[in-house]
């Protein structure tokens, strides 16, 4: 039993949801929360687009060995730090165009300046690699200045870019995840792409707490009592809340960094969940946490502004 438990922590098997899985989950929540129908339709189309492009992305250049992967983790760096700037500019622009069409057509909330995004010089094919590098390095000042200069809402720009890049990172992560020795990683950012977690879950079968990356959707384990942003383990400054009639959906609060993360408890819910859909279904909890003065551990992929 012990050896099996250690192996589970060292090598996490992550089954990614299929297109059908996501469609069924969205259908489930549309029936449960009819008022979220418009938002669920929008993201259903976005997730479908991303799934289609994952199959088109060439991952042959990401053939890192298990030794290379884990040596990188030992140094405290995410795996893709070895492979920055290798995203197809042509394919990225193609995804970007299709994504904007979906959002303009189906978003229940119009995004300011969305139609200007494709006219940004930095998003021309010859400049895209530099643009992507700025995103990967989390250069907030770059996006702040760009949004002001071009008259494009910053959150709208980041929303579109994040969802356009997500299928690339998901495709690369698919081949890299099985090589990760999770015992070497205890950080609050993704071991694959370095982005922050936006939502967590307690696994149904054993209660293991898993963080989920906001971009490549990779999961990695963490301690049950620990802030998903700053790593705080002081129970005196950590707390949770949840609706009286829904103990399966919780929000973890940290008074040290004033951040929060949503958590889906699969045992309480009685089923396995798909976190990208859970994020939409629990949007009301974001509003409560923010009203209490907390900020999310990462910008949720469903946040537009």
> pLDDT (tens digit, 9 = 90+) per residue, 199-221?
999 999 999 999 999 999 999 99
Stated pTM of the model: 0.89
pLDDT number for residue 83 = 67
Percent of the chain topping pLDDT 70: 93
Cα angle: 216, vertex 217, 223; to 5 degrees: 125
**What mean pLDDT is reported for the chain?**
89
Phi and psi at 251, nearest 5°, equal -130, 125
Residue environment code for 268-281, b if the CB has 16+ CB neighbours within 10 A, otherwise e: ebeeebbbbbbbbb
Q: Which of 110-124, 145-159, 167-181 has the lowest mean pLDDT?
A: 110-124
pLDDT number for residue 80 = 87
pLDDT number for residue 255 = 98
Tokens of 259: 């951040």
pLDDT at 7 over 50: no
Residues 229, 226: Cα–Cα separation, whole Å: 9
List, in sequence order, every residue forming a beta bridge with 254; answer none if it has no partner. 238, 259
Question: Which has the higher per-residue pLDDT, 108 or 209?
Answer: 209
pLDDT at 271 over 60: yes
Residues 35, 31: Cα–Cα separation, whole Å: 9
Can you give the residue ranges of every domain in the chain? Answer: 18-179, 182-296
Question: Which has the higher per-residue pLDDT, 175 or 33?
Answer: 33
> If pLDDT is split at 50, 70 and 90, which confidence band does 84 have?
low
Residue among 280, 286, 276 at smallest CA distance from 39: 280
**Mean pLDDT computed over 114-137:** 81
Query: CB of 283 within 8 A of CB of 180?
Result: no
Query: Which class is domain 182-296?
Result: alpha beta
* Whole-number CA gyration radius for the chain: 19
Torsion of CA 58, 61, 64, 68, to 10 degrees: -140
Neighbours of 173 (CB within 10 A): 25
Query: CB of 209 within 8 A of CB of 223?
Result: yes
pLDDT number for residue 169 = 92
> If pLDDT is split at 50, 70 and 90, which confidence band does 13 have?
confident
Residues 305, 301: Cα–Cα separation, whole Å: 11
Residue 222 parent element (H or E): strand 219-222
List, in sequence order, every residue forming a beta bridge with 264; answer none if it has no partner. 201, 249
List, in sequence order, every residue forming a beta bridge with 296; answer none if it has no partner. 260
């Amino acid at each position: 039993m012990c050896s099996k438990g250690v192996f589970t922590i060292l090598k996490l098997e992550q089954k990614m949801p299929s297109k059908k899985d996501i469609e069924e989950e969205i259908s489930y929540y549309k029936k449960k929360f009819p008022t979220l129908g418009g938002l669920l339709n929008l993201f259903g189309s976005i997730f479908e687009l991303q799934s289609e492009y994952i199959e088109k992305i060439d991952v042959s250049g990401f053939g890192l060995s298990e030794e290379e992967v884990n040596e990188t983790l030992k140094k405290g760096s995410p795996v893709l730090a070895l492979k920055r700037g290798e995203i197809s500019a042509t394919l990225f622009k193609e995804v970007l165009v299709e994504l904007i069409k979906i959002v303009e057509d189906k978003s229940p909330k119009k995004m300011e300046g969305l139609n200007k995004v494709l006219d940004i010089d930095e998003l021309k094919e010859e400049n895209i690699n530099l643009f992507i590098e700025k995103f990967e390095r989390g250069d907030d000042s770059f996006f702040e200045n760009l949004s002001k200069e071009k008259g494009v809402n910053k959150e709208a720009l980041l929303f579109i870019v994040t969802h356009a890049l997500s299928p690339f990172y998901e495709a690369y992560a698919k081949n890299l995840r099985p090589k990760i020795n999770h015992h070497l990683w205890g950080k609050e950012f993704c071991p694959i792409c370095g982005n922050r977690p936006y939502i967590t879950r307690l696994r149904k079968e054993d209660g293991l707490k898993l963080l989920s990356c906001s971009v490549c959707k990779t999961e990695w384990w963490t301690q049950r009592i620990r802030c998903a942003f700053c790593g705080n383990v002081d129970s005196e400054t950590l707390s949770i809340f949840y609706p009286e009639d829904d103990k399966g959906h919780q929000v973890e609060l940290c008074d040290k960094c004033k951040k929060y993360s949503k958590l889906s408890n699969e045992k309480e819910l009685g089923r396995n969940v798909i976190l990208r859909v859970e994020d939409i279904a629990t949007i009301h909890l974001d509003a409560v946490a923010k009203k209490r003065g907390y900020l999310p551990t990462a910008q949720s992929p469903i946040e537009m502004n």
